[in-house]
């Protein structure tokens, strides 16, 4: 902030808890300083063909875990090339209620740690993100150079950005390793594992102290 930044950008997120700590620092700083928050951009990294982060969340769960921070923009970077990242950008664009970005590597790294995708192929592969209305911002990560960014610019120039997120669906969305999205076809939901002595120190103290009525009351309030 003292250096005059315009955006707070938490990127290459492979662990959601780590990112939540950074978001907490972001919120706390602006609240304690009494300043208006700068735009927050969040960028995750998916590591496999299932579209999961290193800590195991899928694409939708990652977004849901971050959405209460009200990011200006959210997306994916690094790790996979544009071709492998494409299906997960489709899933993210479908659920995200904010701007979406993508800046993948120049393809998957080869055995020598280099990148084989040419600038021209990179631009062609990234163009799909724009023509399908998946993104508001694009760029390049590992292996890309100014030549790649120039090819990308030429590939997406003049294509309208994603706009469908402007319609807020107001769905109830929760997440663990996977997403839970409420819909009218769901008749009954059982929420468990909220109170146990391994997961809650306060609950453990109630049990040890023999405060069973209080413990039961707390358990009921969690369901």
DSSP E strands: which ranges in 106-198?
Answer: 137-138, 173-175, 179-181
Q: Which of 96, 98, 101, 102 is nearest to 84 (CA)?
A: 102
As a whole number of angstroms, the distance between CA 213 and CA 130 comes to 58
Backbone angles phi, psi at 179, to 5 degrees: -85, 155
pLDDT digits (tens, 9 = 90+) for 102-150: 999 999 888 888 899 999 999 999 999 999 999 999 999 999 999 999 9
Q: Which of 1, 73, 9, 5 is nearest to 34 (CA)?
A: 1
Residues 9 and 23 sit within 8 Å (Cβ to Cβ): no
Give the model confidence (pLDDT) of 170-221 as tens digits: 678 888 899 888 888 888 877 665 567 777 788 788 888 888 787 777 666 6
Domain-wise residue ranges, the chain? 8-175, 190-221
The topology (CATH level 3) of 8-175 is TIM Barrel (3.20.20)
């Amino acid at each position: 902030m003292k250096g005059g930044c315009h955006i707070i950008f938490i990127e290459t997120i492979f662990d959601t808890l780590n990112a939540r700590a950074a978001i907490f620092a972001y919120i706390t700083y602006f609240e304690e300083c009494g300043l208006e928050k700068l735009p927050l951009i969040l960028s995750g990294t998916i590591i496999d063909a299932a579209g999961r982060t290193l800590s195991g969340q899928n694409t939708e769960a990652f977004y849901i875990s971050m959405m209460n921070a009200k990011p200006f923009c959210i997306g994916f970077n690094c790790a996979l090339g544009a071709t492998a990242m494409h299906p997960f950008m489709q899933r993210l664009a479908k659920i995200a209620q904010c701007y979406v970005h993508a800046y993948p590597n120049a393809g998957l790294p080869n055995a020598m740690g280099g990148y084989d995708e040419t600038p021209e192929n990179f631009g062609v592969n990234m163009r799909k993100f724009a023509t399908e209305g998946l993104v508001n911002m694009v760029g390049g990560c590992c292996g890309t150079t100014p030549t790649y960014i120039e090819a990308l610019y030429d590939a997406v120039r003049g294509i309208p950005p994603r706009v469908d997120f402007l319609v807020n669906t107001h769905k109830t969305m929760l997440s663990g390793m996977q997403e839970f999205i409420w819909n009218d076809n769901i008749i009954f939901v059982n929420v468990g594992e909220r109170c146990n002595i391994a997961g809650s120190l306060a609950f453990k103290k109630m049990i040890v102290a023999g405060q069973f009525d209080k413990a039961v009351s707390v358990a009921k309030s969690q369901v």
